[in-house]
Amino acid sequence: MSELLANHIAGRWQTGSGSGTALFDPVLGTELVRVDAGGIDLPAAFQRIRSEGGAALRALTYAQRAAMLAAAVKVLQAHRDTYYEIATANSGTVKNDSAIDIDGGIYTLSTYAKLGEGLGAQRALLDGEPSRLGKDPLFQSQHVRVPRRGLALFINAFNFPGWGLWEKAAPALLSGVPVIVKPGTPTAWLTQRMVKDIIDAGVLPACALSVICGSSAGLLDALEPFDVLSFTGSADTAAVIRTHAAVAKRSVRANIEADSLNSAILLPGEGPGSEAFDLFVKEVAREMTQKSGQKCTAVRRVLIPENQYDAVAEALRARLSKVTVGNPRNESVRMGSLVSRAQFDSVRSGLQALASQTETLHDGAAQALVDADPQVACCIGPTLLGTRRADEAHLVHDTEVFGPVATLVPYRNSAHAIELARRGLGSLVTSIYGSDPAALGAAALELADSHGRVHVVSPDVGASHSGHGNVMPQSVHGGPGRAGGGEELGGLRALDFYHQRTAIQASTSVLSSFTL
Ligand code: NAP
């Protein structure tokens, strides 16, 4: 049997009491390691994390905690090769795709180390200016933000075991809140290894960072009112979380990142030969194939002027047919596999569902694999679907196929394009492509109400834009409605979730006496 990974909880390593769930190489089908979270006294461990981890972190200033994050960055950088090996074996990703998760996570952590340094030697934050509460100028209200006295529990999805940990842990630790991460089981190994390296290096106070791999049973039950919960995953699990007593009755603050039917929009007036058209096709093809489409931000709906349907289909087919798929260890392979057999089956059944309302414009299932046994490997080539009935094809706007799949959706005019983008009922991101700054700006503002991020690509930023699906720590990540209604990152805005904002009403002499 393979190694049973230990959990690190409340300052000590603890192996689960069960035989564990196996994690597999999705390309070779071999068992890698096992995880188990049985036998942990969660309420006692959570209590210790709140009291010891929380107190130790809150005793430090923001700048000291930022220095701690910078030290963690160095530790992770020193172990990058191991992380790439784990990602290849457990996520089946090619090097460039592993980089998004591993180096993306390290970059996010280092960004918060820099932002935290700027907050200096304080332990709390003033929020705005004092406001007079009445005629007497002496009695005023000053808002402050102080670190929450609970812990932060992260329940993460399988697709970003590295970045998914650090994009949440960086602002939490910088805020002075101890962290427990429960990674998605199929790829939990990378999260566990990163935490292990940080713990072994001793760069964080005891009980500041814990990892529990395996079942989520009992985790939510152990949460108390001052804790926070950040969840990333499917809308179905999100619904279970929202109705759990911890959230519904004990008011645990919850952030939810869920499914999203993201779109990319080519504005009217752009056709083959225009720079914007080429940038659009390049980005859509990249989004479909990066991490085999297993990104919550990936383009699922490709919105195009009706008269460009055939031209866009042709241009995308030309790009997608060049994408080699298979064993990520083979240098010639551009796209690796899905993370598990369950994901492979889910993509196949999602494609079957969409088939009733779409035509297949490029069939990835028919593609030969490089260096991989199609009976074993969870690989599938990129598949482009299309519908000529944008309004009636409701499944296209409802069904997130979490793989290398997107659908061409033609629109009649700009207003119709925006209406179709909103049919996602709230998305993480949309991207808009065109060459007229005024038209791009107007569309961006129009789409802002239903998206967490609007990514605008014009020829002048063709070489420098950060990518439709890349989540940058400077910008908020999250979206309204179906996307979960959550918000993460966005620079120092991310600290809000881990702080209590309180209005202190007092005389100006009291308010000016604060030592933060
Ligand atoms: P999932 O099945 O909902 O699982 C997400 C996490 O929840 C996993 O850690 C899972 O543990 C845990 N979980 C499952 N049942 C639970 C329960 N009853 N109570 C508490 N936790 C529970 O989602 P997934 O399949 O891993 O991830 C794919 C989905 O995530 C996609 O729909 C994608 O759109 C979404 N996603 C969204 C974002 C975003 O930022 N918005 C980012 C990435 C992914 P186990 O793994 O042990 O079951």
Q: Assess whether 162 and 20 both reside in one domain.
A: yes
Count the neighbouring beta carbons within 10 Å of the beta carbon of residue 318: 12
Active site (annotated) includes residue 3: no
Let me know if residue 106 belongs to a domain.
yes
CA of 175 to the centre of ligand 1 (A): 25
> Cβ neighbours of residue 412 under 8 Å, at least 6 residues apart?
306
Task: List the Cα angle 495/50/121 in 5-degree steps.
Answer: 45
Q: Is residue 31 part of a domain?
A: yes
Q: Do 228 and 284 share a domain, yes or no?
A: no
Tokens 């009980």, located at residue: 207
Nearest CA to ligand 1 atom 23: 233
Output the six-digit token pair for 240. Answer: 């279970």
Q: Half-sphere exposure of residue 159, counting CA atoms within 13 Å on the CB side?
A: 21
Among candidate residues 296, 379, 400, 488, the one labeled active-site is: 296
At residue 1, the pLDDT reads: 85
Q: Are residues 162 and 282 in the same domain?
A: no
Structural domain containing residue 168: 3-258+488-512
Query: How are the residues of the chain apportioned to helix, strand and coil, as percentages rounded to the nearest 5?
Result: 40, 20, 35
The finding on whether 346 has its CB within 6 A of some atom of ligand 1 is no
What pLDDT, in 10s, does the model give residues 152-173? Answer: 999 999 999 999 999 999 999 9
158 CB within 6 A, ligand 1: yes
Q: Taking Cα atoms as reference points, which of 479, 478, 501, 476 lies closest to residue 491?
A: 476
Strands 451-457 and 427-433: parallel
For residue 131, how far is its CA from the centre of ligand 1 (angstroms)?
Answer: 43
Give 412-463 as a DSSP string.
SSHHHHHHHHHTTSSEEEEEEE-S-HHHHHHHHHHHGGGEEEEEEE-GGGTT
Give, using CA atoms, the residue closest to atom 20 of ligand 1.
216
Q: Answer whether 240 contacts ligand 1 (Cβ < 6 A).
A: yes
Backbone φ and ψ of 102, nearest 5°: -80, -60
Instruction: Note the pLDDT tens digit of each residue in 303-336.
Output: 999 999 999 999 999 999 999 999 999 999 999 9
213 and 287 belong to one structural domain: no
In this structure, are 29 and 104 located in the same domain? yes
Based on the fold, state whether residues 102 and 214 are members of the same structural domain: yes
Query: Would residue 481 count as lying in a domain?
Result: no
Beta carbon of 233 within 6 Å of any ligand 1 atom? yes
276, 440 in Cβ contact below 8 A?
A: no
Mutate to test the pocket of ligand 1, among 23, 35, 153, 158 (most ligand atoms within 8 A of CB): 158
How far is the C-alpha of 503 from the C-alpha of 516, rounded, in Å?
15
User: Does residue 257 carry a catalytic annotation?
Assistant: yes
Residue 281, domain CATH: 3.40.309.10
Cβ–Cβ under 8 Å, residues 269 and 277:
no
Q: What is the CATH number for 242? A: 3.40.605.10
Q: Are residues 406 and 359 in the same domain?
A: yes
Question: Of residues 167, 207, 213, 257, which has the active-site annotation?
Answer: 257
Residue 65 domain-assigned (yes or no): yes
Q: Is residue 232 part of a domain?
A: yes
Give how many domains the chain has, as a whole number. Answer: 2
- The answer to whether residues 105 and 226 belong to one domain is yes
Lookup: tokens for 125: 């934050």
Instruction: Establish whether residue 185 lines the binding site of ligand 1, counting it when its CB lies within 6 angstroms of any ligand atom.
Output: yes
Residue 121 to residue 142: CA distance in whole angstroms: 20
Edge to edge, the sheet with strand 152-155 lists 12-14, 7-9, 209-211, 179-182, 152-155, 228-232, 253-257
The string of pLDDT tens digits covering residues 378-436 is: 999 999 999 999 999 999 999 999 999 999 999 999 999 999 999 999 999 999 999 99
Cβ of 155 less than 6 Å from ligand 1: yes
Q: How confident is the model at residue 516 (pLDDT cuts 50, 70, 90)?
A: confident
**For residue range 172-198, what is the model confidence (pLDDT) as tens digits?**
999 999 999 999 999 999 999 999 999
Residues 296 and 237 in one domain: no
Residue 104 contacts residue 162 (beta carbons within 8 Å): yes
> Does the CB atom of residue 190 touch ligand 1 within 6 A?
no
Q: Are residues 310 and 198 in the same domain?
A: no
- 163 and 252 belong to one structural domain: yes
Tokens of 424: 């996602």
Determine, yes or no, domain membership for 134. Answer: yes
Q: From ligand 1's centre to the CA of 270, what distance in Å?
A: 38
Q: Output the pTM of the full model.
A: 0.97
Same domain for 397 and 309, yes or no, is yes
Q: What is the pLDDT of residues 476-512, one digit of tens each?
A: 999 999 999 999 999 999 999 999 999 999 999 999 9
